[in-house]
Chain A
Amino acid sequence: MLVVACIKQVPDTTQVKIDPDTGTLIREGVPFILNPFDVHALEESLRLKDKYGLRATVISMGPPNTEVTLRKALARGADQTVLLSDRAFGGADTLATSMVLASAIRRLSQAEEVALVICGQQTIDGDTAQVGPGIATRLGYAQLTLVDCIEYVDLPARKVKVRRKLRGRHEVIEAPLPALITVTREINRLRYPTVPMRLMAEEAAITLWDNQKMGLDEATIGLKGSATQVRRIFSPERARGEILGDGANEPEKAAQLLLGKLIEKDLLYL
């Protein structure tokens, strides 16, 4: 049985700036990283592999250089990877993305039963948190979002019990398999790849599925299949507040300034 982790390679948004004139992202020279939430989805799938003997499969939709990220997944212990890459998939919003990912998972399940699909709770570039639930909807799987602990998977009984992290409380629920889980960063600590595994991953074959193989209706994928159209990208205006002092270089002065402000506004209760 399979556990499928869906991962995405994203621009390192902490290094992305927006061109004030054109309102577009300056992508030049910005390195790509594995979405920090997806790292934990990958790790959780590997833990389920270790614990329940599931075969860990990693899929990612993206440009051909996504291969680099998939190799990192192999180095950490994934059994197989599938790269979903085709010009027709490009420009996709969350709807069109979940369409491709869902049909890839359906294809995988034709060869081997899928027990669980695991996604990161959201990506740091779009921050919508919609792709995971979108996949679940399209596949008709139970969806368990914001999970910070998988308590158990009962394969014979086709059940999974998880804990969801909600604002100020936890929710523990049981769901039937197959299910889709989106995970928070607290769910696990990452493992580190050994050198022999890294070297193996560097040489490993990455399965590529393009649309010729997938055969999806081009009207439902990529830019054409997207329900969202970007009209403008801009930095939000700072509505209120001010930056006090130079905390990075003169932390003591900045702290003093802040303290003064707080006292002045009578916001300190001693």
Chain B
Amino acid sequence: MSPDIVLFAVVIVAATALFGWSCFRRFRLITLGRDEDRFDKIGERLKNTLVYAFGQRRVLRRPFGINHVVLYWSFLILFLANAEFVLHGLFPAYVSLSRLPTGLYYTLAFIFDLASLLALLAVLVALSRRLFLPPPHIEARSRDSFVILSLVAVLMIAFFGVHASEIAQGTEAAARFMPVSALVAAAFMSGAPLDSLVGAAGFFWWLHALVLLGFLNYLPYSKHLHILTAIPNCYFRRLDNVKTQSREEFTAGNTYGVERVEQFTWKDLFDSYSCTECGRCSDACPATFTGKPLDPRLVVHDIKANLLKNGSQIKNKTDRVLPLIGGGQVGSVSEEVIWECTTCGACVEECPVFIEQYPRIIDMRRHLVEMQARFPDDLSTLFENMEQRSNPWGMAPAERTKWTADMSIRPFEAGKTEYLFFIGCAGALSARSRETTRSIARILDAAGISWGILGRDELCCGDSVRRLGNEFVFDRMAEENIKLFTEKGITRMITQCPHCFSSFHDDYRQYGLELEVVHHTELISRLLKESRLKLNHTVDLGNVVFHDSCYLGRYHQIYEAPREIVASVTGRAPIEMERHHSRSFCCGGGGGHMWMEEHVGKLINVARIEQALEKDPATICVSCPYCMTMLEDGLKDKNADDKVRVLDVAEIVARAL
């Protein structure tokens, strides 16, 4: 089958030019973003691209992801088929499958036929899911989705139309190897006059050509832009875990944080182009789950919409059409949304194409705090206390040693003590978490670890202020801590709090501090394995449900250490909640939310406690002082604190000594 070559050439040139122009317009805007180096480690990046883009590993984490994999791979295969289709249409005498060696020709014909069927089925499944099942997320039934799915379906039908009518005419040499097309021919075209078969072939050929080119030109203007961007987005992903923010340089004349969309990096902007609105981040987000306006997917979408709306203004350096923050419409993120994030990292963890949602929220917080001094009232006291007293409550430094009351605790001295036990503000100052601290101290002694403390000289690590966008204060706190650690000669550190742990492990590394930091759960697990810590007896704590700390789990992949400890002490593995490990649900205390009230929707800690109570626990085991406070408060809220207790992993171990 060959069309009118001249007409087809005109159509092809026009459609390709239009597509090229659309892509140029879209991608030129990406270059407005700030620089960021994502061009290193080519080998590792290629490997990631294979695993996550072509291997679709993250897509497959949801059962329905298999449908996407089928569609995706069919598309990759059919890309060849369509290339042949277009080139054959233009140069019928030179390019044709049938000019290949027979074996290869038949094989490809078979593969293309099968891939088209799979693509059609996958599209039908996707359409039925959207139409007949409860929508997986709010955007599932968007016009965009139906347009694109219909286009793909028509494209596949046209493919079968072309080949079936050729088979019916007897002009397709590979007919035996195209079972689907042959079936269509047998079912609908057998006995049809040659005229109508030729007419049908022409009709389907042009239908295929026009839908294909229409599809191509629809892409840049829809969420299906991801077909072009998702693979490079996996290539340019952050190779380490997303667990820290970039530093800022404090010199006169600089601006801080992000207020205008082009202050994001090119990669942040590229992220926004890569979003397919699949809604997995929305499902994972504790704020979205509890009915707050924050939805990480919408934040990413707003960044894209803002860039598109303001693109030409940015290039021409004229006034913006729409502010990035507080514009009250699509393409603008509200301040409320910016403050609702707990930085739990569930969105980043879920995204199949490695979009970094929550770090963009911190970028905008930085602008609000550092350039505008605008933040929720709750935070005024926190910021003052952190700066004046280096702890969130503004308590006097002398309070930091109160937990040692009847214990003989040594100060850290380089050369004499091996580890610094960094207690952290909660561990030293909160009455409840002091119990955890005392348990850890007993465990360390029982295992014969050489350790000491900084006592009243200890300062806050600054985690909360950093996540809240107060980078300036964090920067000062970090410098002070590093000075202290250097003076004291500290090289190995044990932390109680996952937030201190993560800060010293990653944030401080940006300042050149290379400490060996270990969280108490990891250390205890190691001591048990090496038999340096011996348990006297097992402890019965009833049903023990384990709650993952975001900053240990998602941030540092420490999932098993605390579970193994619980198993050693109680004699059986802890019970998992529905959301656990990398899918765990935040306690509501991260990202500075420990110090903020939730005014909208359900309380996150109460939502988490409800999930825990479904498992009928007697004990909820945690490994973070924030989780401890949030979950205990949640229990009180549900009037369940007389039946269920919250214990830190260390407290559980101390009971077995």
Instruction: Please tell me if the beta carbons of B373 and A191 are within 8 angstroms of each other in the complex.
Output: yes
Does residue B370 face the partner (Cβ distance < 8 Å to A)? Answer: yes
The verdict on A15 contacting chain B, using a C-beta distance below 8 Å, is yes
Selected from B252, B372, B405, B472, the residue in CB contact (under 8 A) with A203 is B252
Given A33-B388, A199-B251: A15 and B396 interface contact (C-beta under 8 Å): yes
Say whether A248 contacts B402, CB under 8 Å: yes
| Interface residue stretch chosen among B91-99, B294-302, B375-383 | B375-383
CA distance A246 to B49 in the complex (A): 59
Question: Is the C-beta of B218 less than 8 angstroms from some C-beta in chain A?
Answer: no
Interface residues of A in 249-265 (CB under 8 A from B): 249, 251
Q: Which residues of B contact A27 (CB under 8 A)?
A: none
Any A CB within 8 A of the CB of B431: yes
Q: Is the CB of A248 within 8 A of B380?
A: no
Are A195 and B377 in touch, CB under 8 angstroms?
no
Residue of A nearest to B375 (CB): A192
CA distance A12 to B387 in the complex (A): 14
A14 to B, closest residue via Cβ: B396
Shortest C-beta distance, B613 to chain A (Å), equals 23
User: Is B371's CB under 8 angstroms from A196's CB?
Assistant: yes
Q: Considering only CB atoms, which chain A residue lies closest to B383 in the complex?
A: A192
Q: How far is the CA of A200 from the CA of B251 in the complex (A)?
A: 9
**B64 within 8 Å of A (CB atoms):** no
**A189 in contact with B377 (CB, 8 Å):** yes
Set of chain A residues within 8 Å of B396, measured between Cβ atoms: 12, 14-15
Complex Cα gap A15–B395 (Å): 9
Any chain A CB within 8 A of the CB of B6?
no
CA distance A194 to B252 in the complex (A): 12
The answer to whether the Cβ of B232 comes within 8 Å of any Cβ in the partner chain is: no
B-contact 0/1 string along A12-34, CB 8 Å cutoff: 10110000000000000001010
- Give every chain A residue within 8 A of B3 (Cβ-Cβ): none
Q: Is residue B398 within 8 Å, beta carbon to beta carbon, of the partner chain?
A: yes
From 165 to 207 in chain A, residues with beta carbon under 8 angstroms from any chain B beta carbon are: 189-196, 198-200, 203
Q: What is the CB-to-nearest-CB distance from B425 to chain A, in angstroms, rounded to a whole number?
A: 15
| Residue B292 CB within 8 A of the other chain | no
B332 to chain A, nearest CB (A): 22
Q: B397 at interface (Cβ–Cβ under 8 A)?
A: yes
Instruction: With both chains docked as a complex, state the minimum distance between the C-beta of B165 and any C-beta of chain A, in angstroms.
Output: 70
Contact A195 B256 (CB under 8 A): yes
Q: B405: which A residues are within 8 A, CB to CB?
A: 249
A200 CB contacts on chain B under 8 angstroms: 252
Query: Which chain A residues border B251 with CB–CB below 8 Å?
Result: 199
Q: How far is the CB of A68 from chain B (nearest CB, A)?
A: 12
Q: How far is the CA of A44 from the CA of B329 in the complex (A)?
A: 36
Please give me the residue from chain B that is nearest to A39 by CB atom.
B384
Report B385 CB to chain A, min CB distance, Å: 11
Which chain B residues lie closer than 8 Å to A12 at the CB level?
Answer: 388, 396
A37 to B405, CA, bound (A): 34
A189 with B380: CB separation less than 8 A: yes
Please report the C-alpha to C-alpha distance between residue A15 and residue B396 in the assembled complex, in whole angstroms: 6
Contact between chains at A199 and B431 (CB < 8 Å): no
B250 within 8 A of A: yes
A199/B402 in contact, CB under 8 A:
no
| C-alpha gap A196/B383 in the complex (Å) | 17
Tell me the minimal C-beta distance from A43 to chain B in angstroms: 11
Interface residues of B in 471-499 (CB under 8 A from A): 472
CA distance A61 to B372 in the complex (A): 31
Q: Which residues of the partner chain A approach B384 to less than 8 Å between Cβ atoms?
A: 190
Q: Which residues of chain A have C-beta atoms less than 8 A from B256's C-beta? A: 195
Report the Cα distance A251→B432, complex, angstroms. 10
The answer on a CB contact under 8 Å between B377 and A194 is no
User: A251: which B residues are within 8 A, CB to CB?
Assistant: 431
User: In the complex, are the beta carbons of B252 and A249 less than 8 A apart?
Assistant: no
B434 at the interface (CB under 8 A from A): yes
**Residue contact A248 to B431, C-beta cutoff 8 Å:** yes
Partner of A195, one of B250, B375, B402, B431: B250
In the bound complex, what is the Cα–Cα distance between A89 and B375 (angstroms)? 41
- By beta carbon, the residue of chain B nearest A250 is B431
Q: Which partner residue on chain B sits nearest A197 by CB separation?
A: B373
**Chain A residues within 8 Å of B255, by CB:** 196
Give every chain B residue within 8 A of A190 (Cβ-Cβ). 380, 384
Q: Residue of A at shortest CB range from B399? A: A248
User: A196 to B370, alpha carbons, bound, how many Å?
Assistant: 8
Contact indicator B370/A195 (Cβ below 8 Å) = yes
Residues from chain A with Cβ under 8 Å of B250 in the complex: 195, 199
Give B371's nearest chain A residue, CB to CB: A194
Contact with A along B211-252 (1 / 0, CB 8 A): 000000000000000000000000000000000000000111
User: Distance (Å) between the CB of B431 and the closest chain A CB?
Assistant: 6
User: Once the chains are docked, how many angstroms separate the CA of A203 from the CA of B253?
Assistant: 13
Contacts of B388 in A (CB 8 A): 12, 31, 33
A125-150 interface bits toward B, Cβ cutoff 8 Å, 1 = contact, 0 = none:
00000000000000000000000000
Question: Which of chain A's residues has its CB closest to B457's CB?
Answer: A29
With A14-B396, A199-B250 as known contacts, state yes or no: A194 contacts B372, CB within 8 Å.
yes
Q: How far is the CA of A110 from the CA of B405 in the complex (A)?
A: 59
Q: State how many angstroms separate the Cβ of A200 from the closest Cβ of chain B.
A: 7
Q: How far is the CB of B411 from chain A (nearest CB, A)?
A: 15
Known: A190-B380, A195-B256, A195-B472. A249 touches B431 (CB 8 A): yes
Which chain B residues lie closer than 8 Å to A248 at the CB level?
A: 402, 431
Q: How far is the CB of A148 from chain B (nearest CB, A)?
A: 18
A residues 106-130 touching B (CB-CB < 8 Å): none
Given A190-B380, A192-B380, 18 further pairs, Cβ under 8 A: A15-B397, A15-B398, A33-B388, A192-B373, A192-B375, A194-B371, A194-B372, A195-B250, A195-B256, A195-B370, A195-B472, A196-B254, A196-B371, A199-B251, A200-B252, A248-B402, A248-B431, A251-B431
Q: List 27 A-B contacts (CB under 8 A).
A: A12-B388, A14-B396, A15-B396, A15-B397, A15-B398, A31-B388, A33-B388, A189-B377, A189-B380, A190-B384, A192-B369, A192-B380, A192-B383, A193-B373, A194-B371, A194-B372, A194-B373, A195-B250, A195-B256, A195-B371, A195-B472, A196-B254, A196-B255, A199-B251, A249-B402, A249-B405, A249-B434
By Cβ-Cβ distance, the 9 closest A-B pairs, closest first, are A192-B373, A195-B370, A15-B396, A195-B472, A194-B373, A199-B252, A14-B396, A195-B256, A194-B371
